[in-house]
């Protein structure tokens, strides 16, 4: 007598090793569900990065190469014409992507390194160190960022290095606040306590116990801080105090070509020339904001109520 | 003593302490200058005597803490020192008092900021409240999309877009806001329309989003649901139940955004060549004129701190829940 074995067994299903999705698979699933705005943002960011990385291959002319024709019209050899001393606008736009985005990215990374680590240290150690750092950050944040940056630039002069350092330090105050506030609730967890009792060092607890648990808000903040830093640097360059010529940069390109707007009635393309770098800045910040919105939506499971 | 008074006094003292530290930071900026900066200002041909006299005028022969108290004492009496520009190697001093440079321009800046604020505050409140009431409607979504884009735009992009359309393609407004002390009020308003409009666009977007979030937060609370379930009319729910509790967050939003205006004004003034304090500061930074930069930074920082302090205090005074802390 043959007894057909039961096709389904609850014990077997529970006993089965559940396959874990790798993060690439998760990303693929989430991307399929992503709204159009997020797709738009991702495509724009990818294009910008591609242009920034391959700038020397894409640009038809050199970054600071000067041609005898200044203020040349659109078309022909120069796609978007030339600027006041005869540099090709299109090539400078392409190199500008590299300089502007690169500097903003370096600044944001530095500000996260400073603000993130200090915030974690303040949250873990608590006590007077926490108080000292928090009050110091309060005072720094009481001065509007752009004004503080202008003051520091007067003292240290506008070189790319001092620009990165100044804005990174000023911006790290906000990263510090966020990191500290999200990690204080993680620090009191039992597994952190266990790690402390195990005798793990501060660095290990920061990296292995706390950081993985506060990653989503920090990544979203990275996007927001990047677009903020990007706008600040663009504003400073526009004021003539940021990235200095002959380095191509979108903010100073707007400043250099702004006077062409008054010719809009006679030659619309000339008037649009200063709007292209300004629009390039605007487009990237819009794209980053879209992606951050979508990311926050996934990670927090929040409905878009607010 | 009433507990709320204690809280307010505590906030005021905290504000004073912040102001003290901020002034300390602004003052100490001169300490970080390289040692030979007097030489750089007076020029290579400066004699030892001129350099020594200049150093004595700045008080560099005294210790730093005495100089701080001298400086802050003078500032409190309205004396902001003398500009670095206009000095020459021969010792002839044509420098101007910083107060004379700052005072007329401060008035101009306040005029521009005031003009933007008068338009944007009511507009943002109406947009924010209506968007919250008709949440997820087409109106709400479109207002949201427009404001999210204007927030992401740099100020100078908005400014040049306005110039392109309203000063160049269709020349109705001037693109240069060159006002002076003699300009008539009507003419002054006409010349300031584009810069004020730029500031308004930026501020309205921020303020509208924050108001909307505050109101939505409020409408989700149980007592509002209760009043709806009681069968009260929509107008009554808003006017009698929601608004009294909404004043605190709305006041905070307004003060916060006026503080934001302080920073936004710098770029807009440069675009429209408006003779305000922001442009003065940018010029002073370019020429490394420290006394002028310090004065401007102090004015901006003080305004910013005072506005934030006002927001805090209004929040405390109008919110009954803050009266009874746990």
CB-closest option in A142, A154, A305 to B293: A154
Q: Give contacts of B153 with chain A, Cβ < 8 Å.
A: 282, 285-286
Query: CB of B110 within 8 A of CB of B102?
Result: no
For residue A18, give Cα distances in angstroms to A10, A12, A14, B233. 14, 12, 9, 55
pLDDT in tens, A225-281: 998 899 999 889 888 888 887 788 888 888 888 888 777 777 777 778 888 888 899
Between these two residues, A64 and A291, which has the higher pLDDT value?
A291
Query: CB of B156 within 8 A of CB of B267?
Result: yes
pLDDT in tens, A144-165: 888 888 888 888 877 888 899 9
Q: Cα B293 to chain center, whole Å? A: 16
Query: CB of B163 within 8 A of CB of B194?
Result: yes
CB-closest option in B29, B149, B288 to A286: B149
Q: Measured between alpha carbons, how far apart are the two ends of chain A, in Å?
A: 67
The pLDDT of residue A241: 85
Task: Find residue A88's DSSP bridge partners.
Answer: A82
Report how far residue A232's alpha carbon sits from residue B25's, in angstroms, rounded to the nearest whole number.
Answer: 21
Burial class (CB in 10 A: 0-12, 13-18, 19+), B223: exposed
Query: CB of B42 within 8 A of CB of B50?
Result: yes
Report how far residue B310's alpha carbon sits from residue B252's, in angstroms, rounded to the nearest whole number.
Answer: 8
What is the dihedral sign for C-alpha A102, A104, A109, A110?
Answer: positive
The pLDDT of residue A112: 94
Residue of A37, A154, A245 to mutate for B, most B C-beta atoms under 10 A? A154
Query: CB of B190 within 8 A of CB of A279?
Result: no
For residue A57, give Cα distances in angstroms to A51, A52, A266, B184, B196. 9, 10, 34, 56, 43
Given an 8 Å threshold on Cβ–Cβ distance, is A144 in contact with B284?
A: no
Query: CB of A195 within 8 A of CB of A204?
Result: yes
Spatial neighbors of B186 by CB under 8 A, at least 6 apart, are: none
Whether A113 shows a pLDDT value over 90: the answer reads: yes
Residue of B159, B285, B312 to mutate for A, most A C-beta atoms under 10 A? B285
Whether A306 shows a pLDDT value over 50: the answer reads: no
- Name which of B107, B83, B103 is nearest B95 in CA terms: B83
Query: CB of A146 within 8 A of CB of B263?
Result: yes
A23 token code pair: 């993060």
Three-state secondary structure call for residue B53: helix
What average pLDDT score do residues A276-290 get? 89
Whether A171 shows a pLDDT value over 80: the answer reads: yes
Residue B171 carries which DSSP code?
-
Q: What is the pTM of this model?
A: 0.83
Which residue ranges in chain B fall short of pLDDT 70? Answer: 1-2, 33-40, 43-45, 86-94, 319-326
Phi, psi dihedrals of residue A11, rounded to the nearest 5°: -60, -40
The pLDDT of residue A44: 92
What average pLDDT score do residues A84-104 get? 86
> Measured between CA atoms, how close is A112 to chain B, in angstroms?
21
**CA nearest to B215 within chain A:** A306
B252 token code pair: 């905070």
The pLDDT of residue B192: 84
Residue B153 carries which DSSP code?
S
Report how far residue B106's alpha carbon sits from residue B115's, in angstroms, rounded to the nearest whole number.
Answer: 14
Q: Cα A230 to chain center, whole Å? A: 7
């Amino acid at each position: 007598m043959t007894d057909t074995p039961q096709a389904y067994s609850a014990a077997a299903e529970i006993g089965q090793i559940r396959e874990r999705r790798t993060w690439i698979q998760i990303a693929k699933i989430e991307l399929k569900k992503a709204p159009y705005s997020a797709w738009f943002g991702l495509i724009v960011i990818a294009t910008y990065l591609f242009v920034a990385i391959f700038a020397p291959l894409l640009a038809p002319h050199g970054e600071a190469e000067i041609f005898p024709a200044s203020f040349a019209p659109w078309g022909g050899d120069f796609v978007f014409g030339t600027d006041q001393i005869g540099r090709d606008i299109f090539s400078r736009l392409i190199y500008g992507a590299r300089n502007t985005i690169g500097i903003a990215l370096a600044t944001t990374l530095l500000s996260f390194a400073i603000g993130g680590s200090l915030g974690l240290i303040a949250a873990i150690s608590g006590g007077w160190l926490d108080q000292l750092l928090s009050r110091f950050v309060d005072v720094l944040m009481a001065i509007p960022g752009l004004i503080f940056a202008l003051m520091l630039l007067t003292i240290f002069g506008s070189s790319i290095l001092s620009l990165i350092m100044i804005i990174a330090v000023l911006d790290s105050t906000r990263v510090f606040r966020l990191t500290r506030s999200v990690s204080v609730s993680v620090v009191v967890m039992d597994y952190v306590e266990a790690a402390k009792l195990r005798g793990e060092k501060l660095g290990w607890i920061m990296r292995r116990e706390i950081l993985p648990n506060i990653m989503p808000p920090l990544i979203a903040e990275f996007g927001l801080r990047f677009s903020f830093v990007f706008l600040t640097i663009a504003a400073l360059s526009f004021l003539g105090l940021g990235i200095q010529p002959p380095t191509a940069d979108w903010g100073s390109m707007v400043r250099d070509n702004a006077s062409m707007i008054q010719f809009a009635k006679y030659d619309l393309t000339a008037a649009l020339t200063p709007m292209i770098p300004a629009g390039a800045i605007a487009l990237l910040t819009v794209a980053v904001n879209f992606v951050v919105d979508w990311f926050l939506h996934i990670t927090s499971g929040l409905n878009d109520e607010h | 003593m009433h507990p709320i008074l204690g809280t307010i006094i505590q906030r005021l003292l905290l504000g004073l302490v912040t102001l003290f530290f901020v002034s300390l930071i602004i003052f100490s900026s001169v300490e970080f200058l390289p040692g030979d900066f007097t030489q750089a200002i007076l020029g290579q041909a400066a004699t030892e005597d001129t350099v020594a006299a200049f150093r004595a005028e700045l008080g560099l022969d005294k210790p730093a803490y005495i100089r701080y108290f001298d400086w802050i004492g003078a500032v409190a009496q309205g004396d902001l020192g003398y500009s670095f520009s206009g000095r020459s190697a021969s010792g002839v001093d044509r420098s101007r008092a910083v107060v004379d440079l700052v005072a007329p321009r401060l008035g101009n800046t306040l005029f521009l900021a005031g003009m933007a604020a008068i338009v944007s505050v009511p507009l943002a409140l109406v947009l924010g409240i209506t968007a919250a009431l008709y949440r997820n409607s087409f109106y709400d979504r479109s207002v949201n999309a427009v404001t999210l884009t204007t927030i992401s735009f740099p100020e100078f992009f908005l400014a040049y877009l306005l110039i392109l359309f309203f000063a160049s393609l269709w020349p109705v407004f001037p693109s240069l806001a060159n006002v002076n002390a003699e300009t008539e009020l009507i003419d002054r308003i006409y010349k300031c329309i584009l810069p004020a409009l730029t500031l308004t666009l930026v501020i309205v977007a921020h303020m509208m989003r924050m108001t909307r979030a505050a109101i939505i937060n409020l409408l989700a609370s149980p007592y509002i649901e209760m009043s709806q379930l009681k069968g009260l009319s929509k107008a009554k729910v808003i006017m009698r139940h929601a608004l009294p509790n909404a004043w605190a967050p709305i006041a905070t939003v307004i003060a916060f955004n006026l503080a934001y205006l302080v920073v936004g004004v710098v770029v807009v003034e440069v675009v429209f060549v408006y003779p305000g304090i922001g442009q003065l500061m940018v010029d002073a930074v370019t020429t490394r004129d420290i006394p002028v930069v310090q004065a401007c930074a102090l004015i901006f920082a003080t305004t910013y701190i005072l506005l934030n302090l006002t927001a805090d205090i209004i929040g405390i005074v109008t919110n009954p829940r803050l009266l009874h802390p746990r």
